[in-house]
Amino acid sequence: MTDVPRETPLDAESAALAARYAGVPGMAAFATVLAGPGVERGLIGPREVPRLWPRHLANCAVVAEEARAEIPPDAHVADVGSGAGLPGLVWALVRPDLHVTLIEPLLRRATFLGEVVDDLGLGSRVTVLRARAEEADAQFDVVTARAVARMPQLVGWTLPLVRVGGWLVALKGAGAAAELDAAGDAIRALGGGEARIATYGAEVLSSPTTAVLVRRVSPVPPGRSRSRMGRN
C-alpha cells in the first residue's frame, strides 16, 4: 500500500467528524488509505476526498453505532459489493464485536480490500470473499450494501444471504422510499417481512444517513433463483 503524498485540508464538519472518531483504532488510517491509494487505484473518486468523512466514513459509521437492534452484538455481517470497504470495513472499525465478510467480485477491489484488512490488523474478524453474491455459500445475521443497485434488484442479491430473523440494511439516498415501494413484490417473494426506512446520524451529520431495513421472516421458496452480479 503506497503512502499518501499530502493531506487534504478539512472543512469544519469533516474536522469535527475526524475528531469524533479519532479514538477508533484504524479509522484515521483507513481515511488516509482511501484518500491516497483508494483514489490512485480507482476505488474513490478524487472529488470525494474533501468529503470523505461526512459522505463516506461517518455516513457508514453512524448506522452501525445506532442500529443496535438490527445489528446486534457479535453479529456476522456480509457487505455485498463492498468496493472500497464501505460500509463493511467502517462497521468493523467502529464495532469491534462484529464479524464481517466483504463480498466483492472484482479482482482489483478484492485485492485492495485484502491489503487494507491486513494493514489495519483486522484479519481475525474480517474476511474478503472474491465472489458474486449468489456464489456465497453462507447466511448472515445482517447483510448490507451501499451504492450497489436499486432495491428491486438488490434484494435478489442480498435477501437470500440473510438468515431467517436477520436483517438487510441497505444504505440509500433520497429515493429510498420509491425504491422500497418498487421492491415490495421481490421482498415478499424472497422471504422478507417487515420493511421500513430509517435515518441515522442526525445529531452529527448535516445530511443524515438513510437506510432501508428489511427483516427476513421465511426461507426462499424452492425454485427461486437469485439475480447474478456481473464480474468485469
Q: What are the pLDDT digits (tens) for 68-118?
A: 999 999 999 999 999 999 999 999 999 999 999 999 999 999 999 999 999
pLDDT score recorded for residue 222: 57
* CB atoms inside a 10 Å sphere around CB 92: 25
pLDDT score recorded for residue 180: 96
Q: What's the mean pLDDT when you consider all of the chain?
A: 92
pTM for this one? 0.91
Q: Give yes or no for a contact between 231 and 105, defined as CB atoms under 8 angstroms apart.
A: yes
pLDDT score recorded for residue 57: 98
Q: What average pLDDT does range 9-37 have in this prediction?
A: 94
Q: Which residues contact 23 (CB under 8 A, 6 or more apart)?
A: none
Looking at 3.40.50.150, 3.40.50.1000, 3.40.50.300, 3.30.1490.190, the CATH number of the domain 62-216 comes to 3.40.50.150
Grid coordinates representing 67? 442500529
- pLDDT at residue 4 is higher than 50: no
Q: Is 154 helix (H, G, I), strand (E, B) or coil?
A: helix
At 108-164, the pLDDT tens digits run 999 999 999 999 999 999 999 999 999 999 999 999 999 899 999 999 999 999 999
Q: What average pLDDT does range 189-201 have in this prediction?
A: 96
At 205-225, the pLDDT tens digits run 999 999 999 999 998 665 555
At 162-176, the pLDDT tens digits run 999 999 999 999 899
- Domain extent listing, the chain: 62-216
For 65-107, what is the HEC assignment?
Answer: HHCCCCCCCCCEEEEECCCCCCCHHHHHHHCCCCEEEEECCCH
